[in-house]
Structure 1
C-alpha cells in the first residue's frame, strides 16, 4: 500500500461492528497505533481489533492522549504524536490509527489530525468511518434518532447550562455525550423541564457492562461510566 495515515473507526466496542474495509486496512498496515488516556491504561480500541493484529509483521504503537477538560499544555503531546506518526510514513510505512466510534465524531484522532495538517500537510490521510456509539445506543434503547422533519442535536453534557436548556427545548431528539461527571445535574435539569421520563441512560455500548436505563432514577454511582450518554426523545 502507498505510505499514508489511515484513521480507522472501529465502532463502539463489539468487534463485529467493525467495517470490512476497516478490518482489511488494519490487517494490511505496517504500523498500528492505538491511543490511551493514561500510560497505565489499556486501549479499548486495541482490544476490539486484537484478533486482526500480527505482532510478528506489524509494529504496534501506543500513544498517550491525556483526557481532561482543561486542555492547556496538551498540545505538546499531540505534536509529539503527530511527529512520530509522520516519521513512520516518511520511512515508507502505512500507519493505521484506530479509534473507537468514528474518527470524525468526538474522536481522539482529531487531536492528531489537526497537528498532521499543521506540521505535515503533504502526508496523505485517509478516513475510514466507523459505527458511532450514538447509533448503536439508540438501536439498543429502541429510540429512533430522527424521522421526517424532526431535529437532532448532539452535544457534550458539559455544555453551558443555559444553552443546554435552549437545546433541550428546541430539538426533538437530544444526545448528551460524556454525562458521567455531570449526571446528577442533568437528571435534575431534565426533571425540571418535564423530560426525565423521556430520557434513557446508556453505558458501555458493545462492551462488557453494557446497560440501558429507561428510568434515570435507577442509575447509581456505580453505573456512571466515561463511555455513556443520555438520549432524550420527545
Structure 2
C-alpha cells in the first residue's frame, strides 16, 4: 500500500498487540478492533520456525490477513545486535507512520511480559517520540495454563515468582524454597534436569505443564506425578516439550497438602 506524502499527511498510529498464548478466542476484543484498522500488520517469527506463532493465534478470525508482513525476530543474547535490529525496525515503522499508515505488531501471550515488543517500543520511543503509539495487553501463557489445569497461581498472601528458567539448578532450587508458587518460563532444553530436580524435591504431583497452548501438538498436564525426564510423552514434539511451554510449580508448605 502506498500513500502520497504531503505536509498535511496525518501520522498513522502504532499498536503493539498481545495476541494470547495460542487460542484464537483469547485475543482481546480491543486488539481485534485495532487489527481491523491496521494498514500494516507485522507478525514476528523465530529463525527456526516456518511460520509465525503469533499469526497462528489469529487463525479463523476476521481481520485483513492480506496486510500481514512476517518478519524474523532477534533474540540471540547479543545486546548490540538486538538493539541494532529493533532500531532498524523502529525507523521502518516510523517511516510508515509518517506516510499516514497505521501499523500493528503482534506478539504471543501478553504484549509486555518477556516479549520482544519491549525492545521495539523502546526503540520507537527513541526514534520517533512524536508519533502516536500504544500497547494493548494480552492473555499470558501462564494465566491460560493455570485456568486449563485448575492450578491456583496465588491464594491469600502467597508469594508468586515468575521467571525464565535459570541455567543453574541451585538458583531454581533456592527460588522454589523461597516462594509458594514459581511460574517457570523459557524452560526449553532444560526440562529434563528440571523434572529431575522436582522429582528429588517431591513436587511433581504439585506441578502442571502446558505446551503449545492452542496450537498443533498441544500438551496439557495438570500433574507431573507420573512424568520423569526419562518418560516424556511419546510423539513428534516429545524432544521439544520444553519449548513454547510454561511450568507451574507449587512448593510444599507445612500443612498445605494435608
User: Is the shorter-chain TM-score for this pair beyond 0.5, marking a shared fold?
Assistant: yes
CA 1:82 to 1:160, structure 2 compared with 1: closer, same or farther past 3 Å? Answer: farther
> 8 Å contact 1:156–1:177 — kept in the other structure?
yes
Mapping of residues 213-224 of structure 1, within 5 Å: 213=221, 214-215=223-224, 216-217=227-228, 218-220=231-233, 221-222=238-239, 224=241
SS at match of 1:49: coil
CA deviation digits over 1:163-196, x for unaligned, max 9?
A: 3222100111111101121012211222333323
Q: Which residue does the alignment assign to 1:16?
A: 25
Runs of 4+ in 1 over 6 A off after TM superposition: none
> 8 Å contact 1:204–1:225 — kept in the other structure?
no
Structure 2: distance between partners of 1:72 and 1:90: 27
Structure 1: distance between partners of 2:196 and 2:49: 35
Q: Which residue does the alignment assign to 2:179?
A: 171
Larger Rg, first or second structure (1 or 2) = 2
> 8 Å contact 1:7–1:127 — kept in the other structure?
yes
Q: Which residue does the alignment assign to 1:145?
A: 153
Structure 2: distance between partners of 1:115 and 1:127: 14
Q: Which residue does the alignment assign to 2:107?
A: 99
> Which residue, out of 224, 240, 250, partners 1:233?
250
User: Please, what is the CA RMSD of the aligned residues?
Assistant: 2.2
Mapping of residues 45-124 of structure 1, within 5 Å: 45-50=54-59, 51-54=61-64, 59-124=67-132
Q: Which residue does the alignment assign to 1:25?
A: 34
> Which residue, out of 209, 214, 225, partners 2:217?
209
Q: How many residues align?
A: 232
SS at match of 1:153: strand
Task: Give the gaps of 5 or more residues in structure 2.
Answer: 1-9, 252-258
SS at match of 1:52: coil
| Stretch deviating more after TM superposition (219-228 or 180-189) | 219-228
CA deviation digits over 1:116-163, x for unaligned, max 9?
A: 122222222211111111100011111010111011111001354333
Q: TM-score, length-normalised on structure 2?
A: 0.82
SS at match of 1:66: coil
2:42 aligned with 1:43: no
| Stretch deviating more after TM superposition (46-55 or 132-141) | 46-55
Q: Offset of 1:201 from its aligned partner? A: 2.2
